[in-house]
Amino acid sequence: MPHHPYGTAELGRTGVTVPRLGLGCAPLGNLYRAVPEERSRDVVRAALAAGARFFDTAPHYGLGLSEERLGRALRGHDRGSYTLATKVGRRLRPLAPGEEPDGEGFVDTPARARVRDCSRAGIRATLEASLERLGVDAVDIVYLHDVEHQLREVYETGFPALAELRAQRVVRAIGFGMNHSGVLARLVADLDVDVVLCAGRWTLLERTALDDLLPVCARRGTSVVVGGVYNSGLLADPSPGAPYDYAPAPAHLLARARRLADVCAEFGVPLKAAALRFPFGHPAVAAAVVGAATPGEVAENAALFRHPVPDELWHTLVARGLLDPDLPLPPAG
């Protein structure tokens, strides 16, 4: 793995090393809006150039479109020069005659449907299809994706199937990805989990993961990759109508986000830079993955990640009641 300007972290005891900043590839699957093919390639190339060589995708993202586009954009690049994560738990199938696609927020998708499948055969078939779309022989990380309502199948077949793939060295690290930190905490406590992807529950606005997931991960040696650092956009632009958890933000959260932005401005720190840095206050956090739909957004996230954030900012946020006093605060930098 080449030098990364953000530093790197090892996931659990797997030997998989990731840069601290990665690219979330849901936008490559046309999340909410269509992204032209050429621009999707430029987004991936911008991430490679910026050193954010950790790519997180899934069959769910655009019904396979994200994986296909990511694979095309990475073609010709040394497989050892980047880290690749995808997900299982949703198997894709062709649409039946007369069946309408359900994009689930993704637009202009291939003519496919999702099937919830945590069976051993389903896990293997899903991963094999992902490898074909990505154009690679192996991925580094595989998560069981949004399986909070399938826990019986997870315990009986889903996680054992992933553990078998890890034992066979088909994948190097396994875990779970979802935005329910309490469910993740239970799974980490019960199972031999290398890494979890937790979205939106450990941010400047949301401490839930500190109260359930993060202590268990620290105790078990499980690494955390943080997603949703901007809470669906509220911490990116706290203006009226801003989203939080994919719905319009409640008034009290919008007001708090604006107060956070005001204090950050006093220190010359963009709110987004503080939001990106904040999760790294906890030692279990290995990396953050941030989505981007344009090369400019990739460059902006890279610059924000490097933006100096003084200790005084965090202590001021605590003093003004915008952060709880028991929160672990990031190191200066």
| pLDDT tens-digit map of 3-21 | 455 689 999 989 999 999 9
CB 51 within 8 A of CB 5: yes
Residues 6+ apart with CB under 8 A from 133: 59, 64, 67, 68, 71
Residues in CB range of 148: below 8 A, 6 or more apart: 178, 180, 183
CA atoms within 13 A on the CB side of 269: 27
This prediction has a pTM of 0.96
Contacts of 189 (CB under 8 A, 6+ apart): 216, 220
List, as own/partner pairs, every contact residues 96-103 make where C-beta atoms lie below 8 angstroms and the sequence separation is at least 24, other chains included: 101/63, 103/62, 103/63
Q: What is the pLDDT of residues 95-134, one digit of tens each?
A: 999 998 899 999 999 999 999 999 999 999 999 999 999 9
Q: In the prediction, which pLDDT does 193 show?
A: 98
User: What pairs with residue 92 in β-bridges?
Assistant: 114
Is 6 an active-site residue? no
- Residues in the chain where the model's pLDDT stays below 70: 1-6, 333
Alpha helices (H) in 60-193, listed in sequence order: 65-74, 120-134, 151-153, 159-167, 181-190
pLDDT for the residue numbered 179: 95
- For the chain, counts of helices (H) and of strands (E): 12, 14
Q: Is 70 in contact with 44 (CB distance < 8 Å)?
A: yes
At 265 the three-state DSSP class reads helix
Determine the Cα–Cα distance for residues 236 and 257; give it in Å rounded to an integer: 9
Which member of 6, 32, 61, 143 is catalytic?
61
pLDDT of residue 247: 87
Residue appearing with tokens 């990116």: 236
Give the whole-angstrom CA distance, residue 149 versus residue 144: 12
